Amino acid sequence: MSARLGFVHRFIPSSGDSASHVLLVLHGTGGDEQDLIPIGQELSPGAAILSPRGKVLERGMPRFFRRLAEGVFDVDDLKFRAHELAQFTQEAKAEYGLEGPVVAVGYSNGANIAASLMLLHPHAIAGAVLFRAMVPFVPDNPPDLTGTAVLLAAARRDQIVPASQTAKLSQILEDTGASVSHYWHQGGHELGQDDIEAARQWLAEQIGTASAL
């Protein structure tokens, strides 16, 4: 664990032949830099992993940006934190000698900051797995995300993220030129093993084709 580069974070170097990409794993509310590392390792065994801890505290729980109420984001803070995360990602690649493309893997609050990262810094990441993401904001000047691959993993019984939010986020990303895939978990906001397996297969397909990754 390190507090360098502006974020408390963990870095796990690649092993074996899995140096082709880097996973930027982004936890949900109340998580930390440890939470999604096992999922990252399951999604892409041997890949390098960057796992920062969100710097905003909500009743003592780490988050990546402030919110005014559940589902109501402090957009100014969100954009500021996305800029910080983009800088961290760039500096971490240089610090750790990482040359492969970065794929974000975010859950809930982490998925929302990952979506913001794509919309504000289109070259920061090459793709993203977004578990239970909402629309972070509607961009005034949509970026060109042609060649960026995104998996939206939503849930049929999610009491936090309604299906309309998934559809709206999908449309925003498709309008920027991103290639958007979908997976629907049959349960609620929590992650299921089926989510992880769907994301693992999607990521393997992206790495094995002439896609953004």
pLDDT tens digits, residue range 147-157? 999 999 999 99
Task: Give domain status of residue 69, yes or no.
Answer: yes
CA distances from 193 to 87, 96, 110, 153, 196 (A): 32, 31, 18, 12, 5
The CATH number of whichever domain residue 133 belongs to comes to 3.40.50.1820
Catalytic site residue 108? yes
Task: Give domain status of residue 203, yes or no.
Answer: yes
Give the β-pairing of 67-69 and 72-73: antiparallel
Task: Give domain status of residue 30, yes or no.
Answer: yes
In this predicted structure, what is the pLDDT of residue 207? Answer: 72
Task: Give domain status of residue 52, yes or no.
Answer: yes
pLDDT in tens, 14-33: 986 555 789 999 999 999 99
Amino acid at site 38: P
Q: What is the mean pLDDT of residues 139-145?
A: 94
> For residue 212, is pLDDT > 60?
no
Q: What is the mean pLDDT of residues 121-145?
A: 96
Report the number of distinct structural domains present in the chain. Answer: 1
Catalytic site residue 189? yes
Catalytic site residue 158? yes
Task: Give domain status of residue 213, yes or no.
Answer: no
Task: Give domain status of residue 94, yes or no.
Answer: yes
Domain that holds residue 163: 4-207
> For residue 2, is pLDDT > 70?
no
Task: Give domain status of residue 212, yes or no.
Answer: no
Task: Give domain status of residue 50, yes or no.
Answer: yes
Q: How far apart are CA 191 and CA 17, in angstroms?
A: 28
The one catalytic residue in 108, 116, 185, 195 is 108
CA distances from 32 to 27, 51, 67, 85, 171 (A): 6, 8, 18, 15, 30
The one catalytic residue in 158, 170, 185, 195 is 158
> With contact defined as beta carbons under 8 Å apart, do 129 and 213 qualify?
no
Rounded percentage of the chain residues whose pLDDT exceeds 70: 94
Q: Count of CB atoms within 10 A of residue 188's CB?
A: 15
The one catalytic residue in 74, 189, 194, 211 is 189
